[in-house]
Amino acid sequence: MPHPDHEAPTLLVRRARCVATQDDERREWQDASILVRGHRIEAIGPADALPDTADTVIDAQQHLVVPGLVNTHHHMYQTLTRAVPAVQNAELFGWLRGLYPLWARLTPDMARTSAQVAMAELLLSGCTTSSDHLYLYPNGVTLEDTIEAAHSLGLRFVASRGSMSVGESAGGLPPDALVEREDAILKDSQRLIERWHDGAHGAMVQVALAPCSPFSVSQDLMRESAALARSYRTRYAMGVRLHTHLAENDHDIAYSQEKFKRTPAQYAQELGWVGDDVWHAHCVKLDDEGISLFAATRTGVAHCPCSNMRLASGIAPIRRMLNAGVPVGLGVDGSASNDGAHMVNEARQALLLARVGRAMQPPEVRDGKRFFGCDLGPAEMTARDALALATRGGAEVLGRPDIGHLAVGMCADMALFRLDTLPMAGGSVHDPVASLLLCASPAQADYTIVQGRVVVREGQLTALELPALIERQQRLAGQLVRCG
């Protein structure tokens, strides 16, 4: 329905070459316009049927318009430890053990700056909504450091209050110096929800509770965090969600089997960590039983293809999840296990990795004949499938019915990509949507619009000077790694 405030400022994206709405009919408009009033879309359709003027007008004749991309998993502070030599070739557990001592030196200034760097990368790649999983709080760091960063750049933000409470001395993976008392974690979690969580349409900040992983928190903390989050269900239209890592690699599976005598999915179910208010990161090793459980309970998955490849964790069975009905979105994951935060690139990698994964499946025997898992072949993941993961899929995983596709009444979050660029040359004339995902050079957004506000204009951030941010990040990254 139209925005009730007819005095609100208007914005017109005029005569876009193509608008890939990702709406319920998956319509793709040619020569189309989008009229925004305030923070909502007021009209969308053929350009000749919409006004030609507004308070702000963007000429989009050379652009593809897509819904703002949604990032469902990140550790933004890790932009400070990208490409650290000691862990360039490590798998998950060794990678963590190598980086914990560096992350223990994190300061509030480092947390804010690294979050701004991550958010700048995301916005410049067309991402309008991102979650962040901050699970360590040394030296006075608070979740507010990242919330302030989101405010400064205009990014829609799900601030996940992560936690670690089981250190090495108690059989966990993190050093004891980085874990917190569980009563303190729960007290701070409640404080953050009361202070920051917004459950209304168009919310710019929400809080999720996110005990880090089976190997760094207790079962009691998992249960009590779930109970705390769910105690707010009647207060907020969009409630407080739950997030953690699950079934990331073979070592993760072995830990769960040895410690809990359960598969990761069984562990999650036993603790009440399934449901449409829960999403798990990675799930590379989620078995058929787990996939069926997640589908039946509408438990979400954050698929992180670049990180999974970087750490050699494996190939998540995304097509099986989607076919079963599991909600799946994309996550760039921590920038020290991805070394980047480019959402178009993440979608492209999801597309390519799914196709490779299909080809690598062992043969099935049917009626005495061997089939090598290539029934779908390259159609295992199409370009439009990948775009759906990056938009509607992410919105569903984060419990946001107000974002993820372009339609009347939805939040005005969108990304505009130029079609007359070198990577698109020779492709966009055939299929603008597929060209965005198949081009070898991941596209940078020409415009990114969040809540009706232009936050990237002609490829430049509108809220801050990028050179100064980069200089500060370089200085702090050097301090973090070299001090001590």
Binned at pLDDT 50, 70 and 90, residue 1 comes out as: very low
Q: What is the pLDDT of residues 401-431, one digit of tens each?
A: 999 999 999 999 999 999 999 999 999 999 9
Q: What is the mean pLDDT of the segment spanning 302-328? A: 95
Average pLDDT over the chain reads: 93
How big is the chain by its Cα radius of gyration, in Å?
22
Which pLDDT score, from 0 to 100, does residue 484 have? Answer: 46
Q: Is the pLDDT of residue 183 over 90?
A: yes
Q: Is the pLDDT of residue 237 over 90?
A: no
- Per CATH, the number for 10-67+403-461 is 2.30.40.10
Provide the 10 A C-beta neighbour count for residue 384. 17
Asked if 104 contacts 174 with a C-beta cutoff of 8 angstroms, the reply is no
Q: What is the mean pLDDT of the segment spanning 90-94? A: 91
Q: What is the mean pLDDT of the segment spanning 168-193? A: 96
Q: What is the mean pLDDT of the segment spanning 55-64? A: 98
Asked if 17 contacts 419 with a C-beta cutoff of 8 angstroms, the reply is yes
Domain extents for the chain? 10-67+403-461
Provide the 10 A C-beta neighbour count for residue 3. 19
Phi and psi (nearest 5°) for 204? -90, -25
CA distances from 254 to 91, 98, 261, 264, 428 (A): 14, 20, 9, 10, 47
Asked if 419 contacts 405 with a C-beta cutoff of 8 angstroms, the reply is no
Which of these, 151, 114, 125, lies nearest to 476 by C-alpha position?
Answer: 114
Parallel, antiparallel, or unpaired: how do β-strands 69-71 and 127-134 relate?
parallel
Asked if 306 contacts 346 with a C-beta cutoff of 8 angstroms, the reply is yes
Q: What is the mean pLDDT of the segment spanning 331-337? A: 87
Provide the 10 A C-beta neighbour count for residue 47. 21
Among 10-19, 46-55, 282-291, 440-449, where is mean pLDDT lowest? 440-449
Q: What is the pLDDT of residues 277-305, one digit of tens each?
A: 999 999 999 999 999 999 999 999 999 99
Which pLDDT score, from 0 to 100, does residue 374 have? Answer: 43
Which pLDDT score, from 0 to 100, does residue 482 have? Answer: 85
Binned at pLDDT 50, 70 and 90, residue 4 comes out as: low
How far from chain centre, in Å, is Cα 379?
24
Q: Is the pLDDT of residue 363 over 90?
A: no
Among 37-41, 128-132, 136-140, 356-360, where is mean pLDDT lowest? 356-360
Which pLDDT score, from 0 to 100, does residue 360 have? Answer: 64
Parallel, antiparallel, or unpaired: how do β-strands 205-211 and 156-163 relate?
parallel
Q: What is the mean pLDDT of the segment spanning 230-248? A: 94
Q: Which long-range contacts (CB under 8 A, 24 or more apart) does 434-438 make?
A: 434/383, 434/384, 435/64, 436/64, 436/66, 436/344, 436/383, 436/387, 437/344, 437/347, 437/348, 437/351, 437/383, 437/386, 437/387, 438/348, 438/351, 438/383
Q: What is the mean pLDDT of the segment spanning 454-471? A: 97
Q: Tokens in use for 460?
A: 């430049």
The DSSP secondary structure of 89-135, one letter per residue, reads T--HHHHHHHHHHHHTT--HHHHHHHHHHHHHHHHHTTEEEEEEEE-
CA distances from 59 to 33, 44, 457 (A): 10, 15, 12
Q: What is the mean pLDDT of the segment spanning 121-140? A: 98
Binned at pLDDT 50, 70 and 90, residue 202 comes out as: very high
Asked if 141 contacts 108 with a C-beta cutoff of 8 angstroms, the reply is yes
Q: What is the mean pLDDT of the segment spanning 49-61? A: 97
Q: What is the mean pLDDT of the segment spanning 37-50? A: 97
DSSP 138: G
Which of these, 36, 38, 33, 37, lies nearest to 16 by C-alpha position?
Answer: 33
Which of these, 92, 113, 149, lies nearest to 478 by C-alpha position?
Answer: 113
Q: Is 213 helix (H, G, I), strand (E, B) or coil?
A: coil
Which pLDDT score, from 0 to 100, does residue 23 have? Answer: 96
Which pLDDT score, from 0 to 100, does residue 15 have? Answer: 98
Q: Is the pLDDT of residue 246 over 80?
A: yes
- The length of the chain in residues reads 484
Q: Is the pLDDT of residue 257 over 60?
A: yes
381: Cβ–Cβ under 8 A, 6 or more apart, which residues? 318, 319, 350, 351, 352, 354, 355
Q: Tokens in use for 291?
A: 């996939």
